[in-house]
Structure 1
């Protein structure tokens, strides 16, 4: 059995109705992972991967590549890639807070901001990436 980004987002929305802080933190995390996996899929449609600028970790590398698109990307692809990378970075920051700052107060607006941002990001990724051809990206 496999799971999709949409499945993760549906779970996040369901979790977000709770009043339990641990569950709300899980909602933030699931929403982030829905966005992360959808962004990975979106990146595969680009002509070339962007530059990861020497960062470490798979999440940081994806964000860096999205924020630094390859020169073979069209202007529209580059613009979308940068915007998607910025949103994913903001979502990762909220997810990091939710997962690791367990003794700090979790502002309720973090949950709504994460869900709104994820819904927007999924919508952006579902739009055409501006490529004259679709399919698999070429390798570096």
Structure 2
């Protein structure tokens, strides 16, 4: 059975609840991927080839009318994805840096906010 963005977010919460550093690191990564996989299919005309390409698109062409959404929403989602990606890089590659429960919780909250915003945005277009 295929998974979706909400499954990634749920797993991020499970990882966070382990209450140890490896759990926090994995929670941050899964929060980022839940966001990425939620935004990507909502972009009708956006790039499908890279993570940074999606972020660049949200902050560039999507804001210039390549999508039917409000440019302010595109920039906001792009900003959140940028922040989550930066945290994922720390969590996955910077093993010399301590990752905390606070960082993990923040990443999860950012992902929840992004998913809510994206859902609201796509519903407004469908109406």
Change (3 A) 1:75 1:43: closer
Residues in 2 aligned to 1:103 and 1:7: alpha-carbon distance in whole angstroms: 29
User: Between Structure 1 and Structure 2, how many residues are aligned?
Assistant: 124
Alignment of 1:41-120 (within 5 A): 41-44=41-44, 48-49=45-46, 58-68=50-60, 69-73=62-66, 77-120=70-113
CA deviation after TM superposition for structure 1 residue 40, in Å:
0.2
Question: Cα–Cα, structure 1 residues 74 and 98, in superposed 2: closer, same or farther, change >3 Å?
Answer: closer
Q: Residues 70 and 81 (structure 1 numbering): CA distance in 2 closer, same or farther, change over 3 Å?
A: closer
Structure number with greater Rg is: 1
Unaligned runs of at least 5 residues, structure 1: 51-56, 135-140
Q: TM-score, normalised by structure 1?
A: 0.79
Unmatched runs of 5 consecutive residues or more in structure 2: none
* 1:54-77 C-alpha deviation (Å, 9 max, x unpaired): xxx711110010011253357952
Q: Aligned to 1:12, what secondary structure does the other structure show?
A: helix
Cα–Cα, structure 1 residues 96 and 80, in superposed 2: closer, same or farther, change >3 Å? same
CA RMSD of aligned residues (A): 2.2
Match of 1:4 in 2: 4
Return the TM-score normalized by structure 2: 0.86
User: Which consecutive segments of 4 or more residues in structure 1 shift more than 6 A?
Assistant: none
